[in-house]
Amino acid sequence: MRSEYLFTSESVSEGHPDKVADQISDAIVDLFLGKDAEARVACETLTTTQRVVLAGEIRCKPVFDEDRWPEHHGWAPGARDEIEEVVRGVVKRIGYEQAGFHWKTFEFANHLHGQSAHIAQGVDESGNKDEGAGDQGIMFGYACDETPDLMPATLDYSHKILERLAADRKSGAAPFLEPDAKSQVTLHYVNGKPVEATAIVVSTQHKEGYDSGAGEAELHAYVKRVVGEILPAGWVTGRTAWHINPTGSFVIGGPDGDAGLTGRKIIVDTYGGAAPHGGGAFSGKDPTKVDRSAAYVARYLAKNVVAAGLATRCTIQLAYAIGVARPLSLYVNTHETGAVDDAVLEQAIARVAEARLGGLTPKGIRLGLGLNKPIYGTTAAYGHFGRKAEGDLFPWERTDLADALKAALAPAATSA
């Protein structure tokens, strides 16, 4: 690793058009899982000026069953109305009441339909066949000791800046803000540790009159104060470059300013570019889809490695084939920061996962982490990782495997 460098990550707010789409898709996942823990959901959302469109494949008998309700084209009576109500509720919670995108008046189209039988036959558990992965693919998990959340600092603070803006907008502390916003944090690293913010970019949608004069000055002063309160003391200096709404006016925003789609912010959702990404998005997918569940368990394992003091950085890769239960590979890289050899750590992780989760099969991950619950709406803005594990929420952020990993490695550490 270089001893000194600059690194940058970005985040987007809950009002960003792609994040509006993500939150709607995950609200549909939560709706279906709340009715059937074994529901299958692959929901994609398009948002644009005064329009929201859903598309994708589902299986959830209390909501959709082609055999039971043929006269309703598979839908339970009232189900389509309930879906629309959930969608509008998401947009209302975010805060869109604008002429170009209003929660009450946008046009809505629902094109969800039944899951492919050919996909179902590969995924479903039957006879002597274990539940298979919902698709092929590679998934990565990552953790590092740059922040208390064990996340890359550039991304962690980018998220937190936008979370504060949203909270202040909703509380009335910053009434000039509107929902759409982006942030970007560039940090100076010395010997692998962040020491200074060299550049801050914040672009936030605002009410009329805050792009010049006293209004602009108020907005700029507010953003600088928030960033100063969120970043560690001493990181903002006289050398920090500020870019606040650098294009000028930002009144037209959200889906009215740019179309949004589910799954277009996968780097924002994960590690801000500090670690590899397998390519699969998370939002809109039930936990049989390993794009989601295996990425969560890879983060869980990597975080526990760092929390146990076994490395200061850890990347884990898992690979799956559609319809096949067990992962094709498990790869661990501690980036030359590990207390033991990476190959030894791989073996310990596999043993602990088998003992505590029932293995790294899709079923083992789902049951071991408790993923068959309506817990996904909160994941769809401000990152899926680095969040607080509380109750059923964000179980992959727990560090309850740290002692088990240390115990599994005790003979290796002693011999080393």
**Residues 6+ positions from 315 with CB-CB distance below 8 Å:** 140, 141, 142, 275, 276, 302, 332, 333, 334, 335
To the query of whether residue 264 is one of the catalytic residues in this protein, the response is: yes
Q: DSSP letter string over 43-70?
A: EEEEEETTEEEEEEEEEBTTTB-TTT-G
Which of 250, 282, 385, 394 is labelled catalytic?
Answer: 250
**Residues 6+ positions from 328 with CB-CB distance below 8 Å:** 319, 320, 321
To the query of whether residue 363 is one of the catalytic residues in this protein, the response is: no
To the query of whether residue 285 is one of the catalytic residues in this protein, the response is: yes
Cα 373 from Cα 34, distance rounded (Å) = 7
To the query of whether residue 265 is one of the catalytic residues in this protein, the response is: yes
Which of 7, 10, 16, 180 is labelled catalytic?
Answer: 16
Q: Nearest Cα to 255, choosing from 23, 105, 96?
A: 96
Which of 19, 160, 303, 313 is labelled catalytic?
Answer: 19
Which of 40, 88, 188, 285 is labelled catalytic?
Answer: 285
Pairing of β 329-333 and β 4-12: unpaired
Which of 97, 211, 258, 346 is labelled catalytic?
Answer: 258
To the query of whether residue 18 is one of the catalytic residues in this protein, the response is: yes
To the query of whether residue 259 is one of the catalytic residues in this protein, the response is: yes
The distance from CA 401 to its chain's CA centroid, rounded to whole angstroms, is 22
What does the angle CA 304 – CA 305 – CA 308 come to, to the nearest 5 degrees?
80
Which of 36, 57, 168, 218 is labelled catalytic?
Answer: 57
To the query of whether residue 10 is one of the catalytic residues in this protein, the response is: no
Which of 10, 18, 30, 286 is labelled catalytic?
Answer: 18
To the query of whether residue 57 is one of the catalytic residues in this protein, the response is: yes
- SS3 of 308, please? coil
Which of 22, 26, 44, 256 is labelled catalytic?
Answer: 44
To the query of whether residue 44 is one of the catalytic residues in this protein, the response is: yes
Which of 259, 350, 389, 404 is labelled catalytic?
Answer: 259
Q: Is the dihedral of CA 391, 396, 398, 402 positive or negative?
A: positive
Which of 88, 159, 164, 182 is labelled catalytic?
Answer: 182
To the query of whether residue 73 is one of the catalytic residues in this protein, the response is: no
Cα 405 from Cα 410, distance rounded (Å) = 9
To the query of whether residue 388 is one of the catalytic residues in this protein, the response is: no
Which of 40, 164, 264, 292 is labelled catalytic?
Answer: 264
* Catalytic annotation, residues: 16, 18-19, 44, 57, 182, 250, 258-259, 264-265, 285, 289, 291
